[in-house]
Amino acid sequence: MKSLFDWIRPEGHFRRADLAECAEPLVNPDRGWYQIFAFVPGEEIDWAQTRSCLCDGEPLVLILLDIGRYARAPLPAEALDGIREILDFFAAAGKGILLRGVYDRNGRGMAQEPSLFSLVNTHLEQIAGIVAAYRAHILVYQGLLVGSWGEMHGSKYLGDTHLASLAALLEGHLRDTVCMAVRTPAQLARILKGSQVAGISARGERTGSGSAAQGRWTLFDDALLGSETDCGTFDGEPARREQELQFAEQITLHAPCGGEVIGGEGYPDTRTTEQILGHLRRLHVTYLNRQHDPAVLERWKGIRYTGKGAFAGRSLYDYIGAHLGYRFLVTEVQGRQRREAGVSRLSGRICVQNLGFAPIYCETVSTVEWTDAEGRSGSVPVALHLAEYREQKRLETTFEIQSTCLLKAPVRCSLLTRRKDDGALIRFANRQTEDGSVLLGEWL
């Protein structure tokens, strides 16, 4: 197949639109900065206060369900109803949800956990049943309840048997619907134990192409850039750490990864811009806490991005925020025109790049919208299924507009992309038209 730049225009004239990248923030589903909302299910909640804390420019929230007070018995009906009420509120607010159940929010996980492991199983099964019912709104379920802050460290329930039991229970409810995340590559490898998930073995080796439905296990990292090992997220031995990073790199091609950066003991201050961005790209970071660690985030705001393009001279914080998850840009368009027996045939080729740290993990639908000088308009589907592209950063597709009459020049066309499940708009980094599409150009 000819490349985009070999495309031949036999007749007519197509004028390409200005496709320059814009540095304005893009509000797109399932990616970006988030803030934390913590609740004790069953307690009364001031929803007006909660609503006032929501940020229009942030599609994601992390909800912590603190069930520590119920550590001696199954969750009562009022707690389960409270979880539903919480999820209803954020779903109605249009937020994508990162959800984590915890016994502890003060670094005392082992003391706060149930004394019986069977009760942990019961609690997780109760929560998982509700999560499954809200699968359209929950992007990732983080953790397996245990550990300080639910981060799967400082717990008596992290042995192989415990992990296998909890992971199997969660997967039984959420398989193929909600992504499930654990804290470290070592924990995930122990859960997978050689089984194939999204074409990746427990050692991070490729075993096949996989599918979007299979790749539901991933990682969350609440110690990004805190140390050489992300404060214990990765192994301390360099060769083993590199092995785990390769494993994480492959797993996060198929399900979103994110968390928060921490200051550690000044370690982030020793990293160059290239090292910081390299780590975020390698882990395909899709979401970050905008409140923690404030010292690191403020430092990023004071660093100028020295690369080329739309973000030259902007802050590193701005650059990172814009590149969390996916960031699509139409980089080239060419078109041609034929008129045969009173019929217009307009065709073109589009080149798209993903400039973001990560792929898009949801299915998308794209169309080319067109209108001519006399107000005739239409829409044609485009084979631009963005979720099918993982490692490939550059993709091309073609389109063809056929009209039963001669169209009146100029004929303008634009690219419109939406999430397949709910029609949510996927904005590109090009200048947007009023409906959120990308103006491609016009036939004159």
Same domain, 303 and 361: no
> What number is the average pLDDT over the span 180-194?
90
Task: Give the other-Cβ count within 10 Å of 122's Cβ.
Answer: 16
Question: Looking at 3-12, 168-177, 360-369, which range is the least confident one?
Answer: 3-12
pLDDT of 200: 45
Q: Which residue type sits at 10?
A: P
Same domain, 372 and 400: yes
Same domain, 17 and 60: no
Q: Which residue type sits at 360?
A: I
* pLDDT category of residue 267 using cuts at 50, 70 and 90: confident
DSSP 1-65: ---GGG----SS-EEE-------S----TT-EEE-EEEE-TTS---HHHHHHH--TT--EEEEEE
In the numeric block, the tokens 């882990």 are attached to 283
Residue 29 has pLDDT above 90, yes or no: yes
Residue 156 has pLDDT above 50, yes or no: yes
What is the total count of domains within the chain?
Answer: 2
pLDDT digits (tens, 9 = 90+) for 347-380: 999 999 999 999 999 999 999 999 999 999 999 9
- Distance between alpha carbon 32 and the CA centroid of its chain, in Å? 8
Q: Which residue type sits at 358?
A: A
Same domain, 286 and 376: no
> What number is the average pLDDT over the span 79-83?
98
Same domain, 172 and 247: yes
Stated as kind and residue range, the H or E segment containing 217 is strand 217-224
pLDDT of 407: 86
3 state DSSP class of 373: coil
Same domain, 16 and 85: no
**Domain end call among 323, 352, 380:** 323
pLDDT of 175: 82
| 182, two tokens | 């654990």
pLDDT of 345: 85
Domain CATH number, residue 360: 2.60.40.10
Same domain, 312 and 405: no
Same domain, 207 and 245: yes
Residue 44 has pLDDT above 60, yes or no: yes
Same domain, 182 and 194: yes
Residue 207 has pLDDT above 70, yes or no: no
Residue 2 has pLDDT above 70, yes or no: no
Same domain, 352 and 276: no
3 state DSSP class of 260: strand
Same domain, 338 and 429: yes
Q: Identify whether 27 is part of a domain.
A: no
Residues 6+ apart with CB under 8 A from 112: 68, 71, 103, 104
> What number is the average pLDDT over the span 198-214?
42
Domain hosting 297: range is 32-323
pLDDT digits (tens, 9 = 90+) for 399-427: 999 887 888 889 999 999 999 999 999 99
pLDDT of 261: 96
pLDDT above 70 coverage of the chain, percent: 92
3 state DSSP class of 170: helix
Q: What is the C-alpha separation between 134 and 130, in angstroms, rounded? A: 7
Give yes or no for a cis peptide into 293 (omega within 30° of 0): yes
Residues 6+ apart with CB under 8 A from 298: none
* pLDDT category of residue 6 using cuts at 50, 70 and 90: very low
Same domain, 139 and 170: yes
pLDDT of 12: 57
Burial code (b: 16+ CB inside 10 Å, e: under 16) for 225-256 equals bbbebbbebbbeeeeebebbbebbbbbbbbbb
Residue 315 has pLDDT above 90, yes or no: yes
